[in-house]
Amino acid sequence: MWNIVWEVKMLTELVHQNNCKNYKIITDLSTGEKACYNCGSVSNEKPIDIGTENTGTTKEEYLKTSRVGRKISLKMADMGLSTIIESKDRDSSGRSLSSENRRMFYRLRIWDRNSRYANTSQSYQKAFLILDGIRTKLSLPDAVVEHTAYLFRKIAAKKILSGRTTLGIICATGYIACRLTNTPRTLHDFSIAGNIKRKNLQRIYRFLIKELDINPAVYSPHEFVSRISKEINVTEKTERIAFRIVSLTEKNGVAASKNPMSIAAAAVNLAVLKSKEKVSQAKISKASGISSVTIRERSKEIKKQLGGEI
């Protein structure tokens, strides 16, 4: 409604013909000009192009044709909206600023400096620097990194960071983000990448899901079979057998309330035995992060429940 009133008011200020009484606006899509449909009077106001962004096909074309800055990202301390105020008291044309403007920009520089070095901003910078390192080690996708940064900001807003290391919080939130986005990374992976004890990481993880009221879905063992198979370098036939064993365990309820990685490791172990490949349990244990004892126990349970179906 307000847009219509504003457009009518704008047109009444134009030079219309004496007999023009219909204030109907049309927009020329090729030139972007707004004009009166009845008398053809063109508005002097510069229109805003609301079309698609021309990004170009190469880096040089993108830099030349792009009309916007970089995208907003939660994994940056300032979300990618940083400000740069030069120390020179000159405008864009090179002329000196007036004394009033100099005082104003002096205050703006102080506020900008204080905002960049505030405690919250420093905490974000340290946390997201650690997050970049974890991302490189575990090859995390952008969606997981952004979700981790969102969860960390949410935790910081709740003021529950005190008494816990930033590294532990980042590793725990990263694991939660992987669970929520269904990205197969285990708690063991984050403990190794962050050089933190697994028990400490489990304690922080349980605390955060309670505080944030989050119930992440459990991983499926299918998501870890390919990872273990590629690590120990088995044939595709063995990998398909392992997938079939995992499907049977889920169908018969053997995998319920058990570590998905241990079920996947046991399935790969049984597949290796069935295809008669020479791969030791120690190698499977190293690839999966599950002890050899656990792999043997899970293999026995699967063989007992499935019997001749394997």
Length of the chain: 310
Looking at the structure of the chain, the number of domains it has is 3
Please list the ranges in the chain whose pLDDT falls under 70: 1-23, 29-32, 40, 44-70, 80-81, 116-121, 308-310
* Residue 158 structure tokens: 């709740």
What SS3 state is found at 99? helix
Looking at residue 309, the DSSP 8-state letter turns out to be G
- Among 71, 95, 112, identify where a domain stops: 71
Both 30 and 60 in a single domain?
Answer: yes
Both 233 and 281 in a single domain?
Answer: yes
Number of other residues whose CB lies within 10 A of the CB of residue 299: 21
> Which residues constitute the domain of residue 6?
1-71
Both 298 and 252 in a single domain?
Answer: yes
Helix axes 142-158, 166-180, angle to 10 degrees: 130
Q: Is residue 102 part of a domain?
A: no
CA distances from 242 to 31, 91, 223 (A): 63, 69, 12
Both 229 and 205 in a single domain?
Answer: no
Both 262 and 286 in a single domain?
Answer: yes
SS (H, E, C) 169-196: HHHHHHHHHHHHCCCCCCHHHHHHHHCC
Q: What is the CATH number for 126? A: 1.10.472.10
Q: Is residue 98 part of a domain?
A: no
| 153 HSE (CA, 13 A, CB side) | 16
Q: What pLDDT score does 8 carry?
A: 43
What is the C-alpha separation between 9 and 25, in angstroms, rounded?
Answer: 11
- Among 71, 99, 128, identify where a domain stops: 71
Q: Is residue 26 part of a domain?
A: yes
Both 253 and 203 in a single domain?
Answer: no
Both 130 and 190 in a single domain?
Answer: yes
Looking at residue 42, the DSSP 8-state letter turns out to be B
Amino acid, single-letter form, for residue 283: K
- Among 212, 238, 253, identify where a domain stops: 212
Q: What pLDDT score does 47 carry?
A: 62
Both 173 and 231 in a single domain?
Answer: no
Decide: residue 59, CB within 10 A, 0-12 exposed, 13-18 middle, 19+ buried: exposed
Q: What pLDDT score does 6 carry?
A: 44
Amino acid, single-letter form, for residue 96: S
Q: What pLDDT score does 96 carry?
A: 82
Q: What pLDDT score does 13 carry?
A: 46
